[in-house]
Structure 1
Amino acid sequence: MNDLSLPSVSVILPILNEERDLSNCISAILKQEYSGNIEIILALGPSKDRTTEIATELAKLDSRIKLVNNPSGQTATGLNLAIAKSIYEVICRIDGHSEISSRYIKTAVEIMIKQGAVNVGGLMYADSETGLQRTIAIAMRSKLGVGPSKFHTGGSAGESDTVYLGTFKKSAVIAAGGFDERYIRAQDWELNHRLRKQGGLIWFDPRLLVTYRPRNTLSKLAKQYFQYGRWRRVISRQHSRTVNFRYLAPPFTVIANLFSFLLSILISPIFLIPPLIYLSLVVIGGVVIAKKFIDRLLMPIVLVTMHISWGIGFITSPKNLLKS
């Protein structure tokens, strides 16, 4: 029996090519230890695998699962479509390649009520037991890989600029104008920025742990971090006061190493010292954060891929990337 004293929750998911993980993701949502009403809205993009077929079958099995078509396949558009279809005030965003713990929604709602927040979220816990994907997961949980970002590496509960995914007050999201559909990446950060500008509280709590399945190849990882860098540059142009060392470190590393290589060719091999120091730090850091021998071998390659891809994306991000 549902507890009418608890707020009802609309769980929204933008879905694209999630054949591998979608069933487990939805199963974790349906098994929530939450006695309030829950609906699940899947915004279906034009997947190239069996995702739409799987989603349709899941919806037939449980009336709480609703489908909405998202022809563009873009995340921000899918989220807005799902929000428009939702009927409840509390909006919980989940990704199709993520898994939440059995008390995730209950904990999120309790924190939202206690703190008076318009958005609460927690830890993006990258995890895998499989080969290179495991190494990438370890890198994504480390400060050496992603910097001092609490929603990647953890930290104490408190007010935050942004959080991973998030459980929102629908009225606050609508008042802020919803997700900006011009953003291909970083749409969460950008929305949270507007929520804070209108006086809303964004709250981080590490108890809200979401298991995230990272990319499983270096090419996919490079593409992902290249896009991260490109869209972080867009945010730095729109909101210049938000730029800090964490975001400037990768592009600085790319430029410094490039100049060092050029100067080593044109002037003296001594200019190779900075790149060698960087590689040494990456190798040593990889040994520290990885436990298995194979992960220690792969970690420097993974870390360099993340750093350099992000940095090149930031440097080459065109000014017209964000269309008006």
Structure 2
Amino acid sequence: MENLPKISIIIPIYNEEKYIVKCLDSIVESDYDKNKMEILLVDGGSCDKTVEIIKEYQKQYSFFKLLNNPKKIVPVAMNIGIKEAKGEYIIRLDAHSSYPKDYFNKLIYWHKKLNADNVGGVVITEIKNKNKISNSIKNVLSDRLGVGSAFRSGVSEIKEVDTVPFGCYKREIFEKVGLYDERLVRNQDIELNKRIKNSDGKIYIIPEIKCTYFARENYKDLAKNNFNNGLWNILTAFYTNSLNSLSLRHFIPLIFVLTLIFTLLLSFINKIFLYLFLFISLSYLSIISFRSFQIKKNTNFFYQLSSFLILHFSYGIGSLMGIFKVLKEKYDKRK
């Protein structure tokens, strides 16, 4: 590609020693002109070997720059990187991922061709250590019944969307809509992209652009991650005083969990609610059981079913805890 623009790649990091080498190696192997790129690694105080590994890369590659993020969270890391960036384009990457050689060239090509404000690609879910549990997690995180998002389950054509993972932005967009909202531990990309859409911006997902995301590999980490996702859906709506940055799919696990709780409690008053509780529970189990049989690649039915249950319920319970947290904050303010 002629006349390549300068790009600034920002990677928020914290204790990434298991994944950072694959991420950095994929950047080093990129076919984008290294004289036209800078990599800003914004560290939230890692206490493992992450920083030590990065410093070894810095000895050989001058385009790697290490920045400090005292507040640890992702939106702060992104804002630190954006303020430091010298590039015409800002690209967010995730340290849990690796990227093909043509990843950056394709992002810039399609950004220009579509006259976009943000473009991104499809995330291919993978795991580093393969076993029956981790394979079941990989399967559920690649399935629409598990995650619901098109950028994880795949798209067949270029389409305009509300958000993309690991976006590529023209620098000026941050001057137009502002930086990342530093109140949001999660959902900061979704909220930023909603502001872009509200300013008549264009966001596109490009099916030929793909990266590999290395998922959690055990049920404990899967539950913790999705609990926080559910929690921050509610807190995002609360802190931004709007539901606009989220869609219905973000609240389906909460609706499901609340339905089960209320029908079970009401069953002590009237037996019809017990039948309703049983009907909903059995219907849900039937659906995820059928889907588990369909997608149980390199695992068994039990592990696949467990992954669905853990993902859905941890997400829904996280959202429920978010409601309690919001109510508590409002109560504390009134005291």
TM-score, length-normalised on structure 2? Answer: 0.89
- Deviation per residue, 1:197-229 (Å, 9 max, x gap): 222211111222111111112111111111111
Shift of 1:267: 5.4
Secondary structure of the residue that 2:316 maps to in structure 1? Answer: helix
CA distance in 1, matches of 2:268, 2:222: 30
Does 1:316 pair with 2:321? yes
Q: Tell me which residue corresponds to 1:9.
A: 7
Q: Which runs of 5+ in 2 are unaligned?
A: 331-335
Q: Which runs of 5+ in 1 are unaligned?
A: none
Alignment of 1:96-111 (within 5 A): 96-111=95-110
Matched letter for residue 110 of structure 2: I
Is the 2:191–2:245 Cα contact (8 Å) retained in structure 1? no
- For residue 254 of structure 1, the aligned residue among 248, 254, 257 is 257
CA distance in 1, matches of 2:29, 2:136: 30
Does 1:284 pair with 2:290? yes
Closer/same/farther in 2, CA of residues 193 and 273 from structure 1, 3 Å limit: same
Is the 1:124–1:210 Cα contact (8 Å) retained in structure 2? yes
Q: Tell me which residue corresponds to 1:126.
A: 125
Shift of 1:264: 5.5
- Aligned residues, how many? 317
Is the 1:101–1:210 Cα contact (8 Å) retained in structure 2? yes
Is the 1:10–1:41 Cα contact (8 Å) retained in structure 2? yes
Secondary structure of the residue that 2:166 maps to in structure 1? Answer: strand
Matched letter for residue 257 of structure 2: V
Closer/same/farther in 2, CA of residues 186 and 15 from structure 1, 3 Å limit: same
Matched letter for residue 112 of structure 1: H
CA distance in 2, matches of 1:295, 1:224: 23
Is the 2:194–2:245 Cα contact (8 Å) retained in structure 1? no
Let me know the Cα RMSD of the aligned residues: 2.0
CA distance in 2, matches of 1:214, 1:65: 25
Matched letter for residue 27 of structure 1: D
Closer/same/farther in 2, CA of residues 172 and 281 from structure 1, 3 Å limit: same
Closer/same/farther in 2, CA of residues 37 and 142 from structure 1, 3 Å limit: same
Identity of aligned residues (%): 32
Secondary structure of the residue that 2:122 maps to in structure 1? Answer: strand
Closer/same/farther in 2, CA of residues 168 and 243 from structure 1, 3 Å limit: closer
Q: Tell me which residue corresponds to 2:159.
A: 158
Which 10-residue stretch deviates more, 77-86 or 263-272? Answer: 263-272
CA distance in 2, matches of 1:145, 1:167: 26
Q: Tell me which residue corresponds to 1:226.
A: 227
CA distance in 2, matches of 1:116, 1:239: 28
Secondary structure of the residue that 1:122 maps to in structure 2? Answer: strand
Q: Tell me which residue corresponds to 1:26.
A: 24
